[in-house]
Amino acid sequence: NSANIGVTATIVNTGSGYTLMFSAEKTGVANAINISVSDNDGDDTDNTGLSQLINANMNETVAAQDATIAINGLAISRSDNVISDVIDGLTLNLNSADPGVTQTITVSRDTSEAQQAVQDFVDLYNSLQDVFDILGSYGNSPTEEDPVSGSLKGDATLRMLKQQVREMVSQPVAGLTGAVRSLADVGIKTNLDGTLELDTAKLQQALDADPEAVAKLFGPSLTATDPLVSYLGSNDKTPEGTWDLFISAAAEQAVLTGAVLGGSGSITLDGSNNTLEISINGTASTTISLAQGTYTQDELAALLQSAINNETNIAAAGGKVSVRYDSANDRFELATDRYGSQASIELTGGTALTSGVLGFSVGDSDTGVDVGGQISDPVTGNTYTFTGEGRRVRVSDYALDGLPKGLEFNVEGSATGNRGSITFSRGVAARIVNAFEQWMSAEGVVGQKLESLNDKQR
């Protein structure tokens, strides 16, 4: 046990004697236990000395195996009974096996937080109207104790701000399409006094029909004509607008394709061809020992993937690969989970390579490719040339005016050339917050006005 090799040895009292039991600390085929001995008499196959431990008296009571499930008919295997990388946002805890029985998983969306967030927006907007009323109140005048009340009464600036805010909540959000484009579409109406009122039933209908559209109405979003382009983020420098997107280089994973195997329908691993050393994304593995046995090509692909992804160094660094058997071309293929120039695979050693059993050789390597291209403003003609990080693109805060400064988005797919247009919108809530921050800044219209009033008070 002190060797810390992933196996625990225990002495068990069976009632009729004592038995030595070995148990793997981790589940899955890649963590199967293989025991070999080296006797002083030079014969490791007889039933004397240490040889008797494995040849006559050792029985496998529970064979190592991967968890195997089928989701909508698609067979999936994992080395662990906790599966979190199959369905986005869903973790499956496999407690027991029930072969042949189909279980139905129903996932429902909790919209209570969204309902509360929209109500909070309405309440905050109405509070802003109260502030406007206090600033413009004709019934009060600023005093030393209350320098705010009535401080902007009759001021054209206040009337302008109130009008701008009301336009923000009454007009459709540019760039949005479909049934949700304005606050009225989600049950928010403007009363005669300028305050907002929420119809929760209509909001619920909108959330049930298209929750993503509701989110885009209130917050920053990117609408792209290409469904493989998705929004990641933005900042206060990002302008609303529409731009053309051109991709000169699509992001790629690091991929290794093995040689044609040219063998039978099964592959046998034994002590002469079952070790592997590999580097994933710059992280070198220890020597990986693949469980000895006879496998189909698909079984061996699953074993190899599990063994690499569960190797201590690679797992700690977050590295991950997929391994598949290409039956049409009779060869194995390794691919990193990561895309871009930071993704890499290098095969560095092991008998599984030198023996040729996998179709790969020592020194085989590949590096991924970052997405690259241009964003152009159809109005000014200004362009921004980028090299991304994997599939992620971030436009510099110092890009030319008219371009989407600070915009971050993801570009998937292998297509190059024109990829349509992208439209950025702040959404109603984000638009009001951004405008309010600008107004209240030292250079903003309200900030300057209040500073002037403070000077008069002093």
* DSSP structure class, residue 16: S
- CA pair distance 126, 197, nearest whole angstrom: 9
Under the banding of pLDDT at 50, 70 and 90, the label for residue 51 is confident
Token pair 């199959």 is found at 86
Over residues 421-443, the pLDDT tens digits come to 999 998 888 778 777 777 777 67
- 96 and 176, same domain (yes or no): no
For residue range 173-213, what is the model confidence (pLDDT) as tens digits? Answer: 877 888 999 999 999 999 988 899 999 999 999 999 999 99
Q: Please check whether residues 176 and 275 belong to one and the same domain.
A: no
Residue 207 domain-assigned (yes or no) = yes
**Same domain? 271 vs 287:** yes
Q: Report how many domains make up the chain.
A: 5
Which pLDDT score, from 0 to 100, does residue 188 have?
A: 95
Q: Which residue has the tokens 């949700």?
A: 180
Instruction: Give per-residue pLDDT as tens, 217-264.
Output: 998 999 999 999 999 999 989 999 999 999 999 999 999 999 999 877
| 280 and 355 assigned to the same domain | yes
For residue range 347-378, what is the model confidence (pLDDT) as tens digits?
Answer: 999 999 999 999 999 999 999 999 999 999 99
Same domain, 209 and 346: no
Whether 441 is covered by a domain: the verdict is: no
119-128, 201-210, 280-289, 414-423, range with the lowest pLDDT: 119-128
Same domain for 241 and 384?
Answer: yes
Residue 327 has a pLDDT of 92
Is 444 among the domain residues?
no
Range of the structural domain that residue 334 is part of: 253-367
How many residues are given for the chain? 458
User: How many helices and strands (H and E) does the chain possess?
Assistant: 10, 26
Looking at the structure, tell me whether residues 197 and 237 fall in a common domain.
no
Instruction: Say yes or no: 237 and 382 in one domain.
Output: yes
The C-alpha atoms of residue 343 and residue 324 are separated, in whole angstroms, by 18
Q: What is the rounded distance in angstroms from the CA atom of residue 243 to the CA atom of residue 375?
A: 6
The partner residues of 92 in beta bridges, in order of sequence, read 83
At 319, the amino acid letter reads G
Sign of CA dihedral 357, 66, 344, 251: positive
Residues 394 and 318 in one domain: no
Q: Which two tokens stand for residue 347?
A: 């095969």
Predicted confidence (pLDDT) at residue 302 exceeds the cutoff of 80: yes
Q: Once rounded to an integer, what is the mean pLDDT over residues 379-402?
A: 95
- In this structure, the answer to whether residues 30 and 101 fall within a common structural domain is no
E-state strands within 126-240: 188-190, 196-198, 221-224, 229-233
The verdict on 74 and 20 lying in the same domain is no
% of the chain at pLDDT higher than 90: 52
- Burial class from Cβ neighbours inside 10 Å (0-12, 13-18, 19+) for residue 43 reads exposed
For the whole model, what pTM was predicted?
0.70
9-47 confidence digits (pLDDT tens): 888 888 888 888 888 888 888 788 777 777 777 776 777
